[in-house]
Amino acid sequence: MLAKGVKRPRGEMEGGDPEPRDPSAAPASSLFNISMVKLHQSLRHVEPNLRHLVLVANTLRRMQDQMQREAGGPMAPDSPEAPSVGDDLLLSALDSSISTMLEDLGQVEVLSPARPEEEQPLAGASGARQELARTSAPCLGPLELLSSASYLLEDGLEDIFEDIDTSMYDCDLWSPTSLSGFKAFSGAEDSDSKALAGAEDRLDMSDLDYLMDVLVGGHAL
């Protein structure tokens, strides 16, 4: 989502101490540096403060225009404003940089769960458009959630279910061997155990039905 950082050779912007252009008494180059840092810091957020971003970008463009105007006009050899070759490259890269960064923000909306429709059929002779911003609750199934949020997959899928209590499924009661034991136990005390005659070693539907009856019905154990 971030555009490539604009790399500047180290000594490039430090040619002397340029005369400040505004009453704030600071070198234009350092303002430029500060602005670039702000721009990048702003874009590091997934949802940058748009107002801050736009104002900084516009300020950078102003500086760029100023520098280009300086470059276009007559220059004294020792003029502090004279941009070096590095500056020219920088300035041209700047504009496309800002454009790319802002363009990336347009992608933000694609990911957004709900958004007023972009295209709306023109309604009425006057051509008035009415856009309904329909809310769509992000009804993500678990699989969709997993595929889009990579942070969940960091430690493997198993970790997601760590907190679920699986003791119910670990119960030995339900293993085939233990069930026969259960049958024997219930058979000893329930008159209906005769119905299970001949089926002691198999787990079949009648066993399960019987178990359900025991659990749900009024049979005493």
Q: Mark residues 110-149: x for contact with other proteins by CB under 8 A, - for none.
A: -xxxxxx---------x-xxxxxxxxxxx-x----x--xx
Q: Cβ closer to other proteins: 69 or 115?
A: 115
Residues 35, 60: contact at Cβ < 8 Å?
yes
- Least Cα distance to 48 among 33, 62, 38 occurs for 38
The smaller minimum CB distance to other proteins, of residues 148 and 175, is found at: 148
Nearer to other proteins, 2 or 108 (CB): 108
Q: Which of residues 56-115 bind other proteins (CB under 8 A)?
A: 57-59, 62-63, 66, 98-100, 102-106, 108-109, 111-115
CB of 93 to other proteins, least distance (A): 14
Q: Give me the half-sphere count of Cα atoms (radius 13 Å) on the Cβ side of residue 96.
A: 7
Report the C-alpha gap between 214 and 206 in whole angstroms. 12
| Nearest-approach distance from CB 219 to other proteins, in angstroms | 28
Q: Alpha-carbon distance 87 to 32, whole Å?
A: 11
CB 66 within 8 A of CB 97: no
Q: Please compute, for residue 171, the number of CA atoms within 13 A of its CA located in the half-sphere on the CB side.
A: 8
We find the least distance from the C-beta atom of residue 127 to other proteins, in angstroms, to be 8
Name the residue with tokens 């463009």.
61
Q: Which is nearer to other proteins, 129 or 202 (CB)?
A: 129
DSSP assignment, residue 103?
H
Q: Shortest CA distance to 104 belongs to which of 26, 156, 45?
A: 45
Give SS3 for 95.
Answer: helix
Q: For the CB of residue 50, give the shortest distance to other proteins in the complex, in Å.
A: 4
Name which of 37 and 208 has its Cβ closer to other proteins.
Answer: 37
If one asks whether residue 216 binds other proteins (CB under 8 A), the answer comes out as no
Nearest distance in Å: CB 202, other proteins: 47
Q: Contact letters (x/-) for other proteins, 15-54, by CB under 8 A?
A: ------xxxxxx-x--x--x---x------xxx-xxxx-x
Residue 99 sits at the vertex; the CA angle it makes with 94 and 102, to the nearest 5 degrees, is 125
Residues of this chain that bind other proteins (CB under 8 A): 21-26, 28, 31, 34, 38, 45-47, 49-52, 54-55, 57-59, 62-63, 66, 98-100, 102-106, 108-109, 111-116, 126, 128-138, 140, 145, 148-149, 151
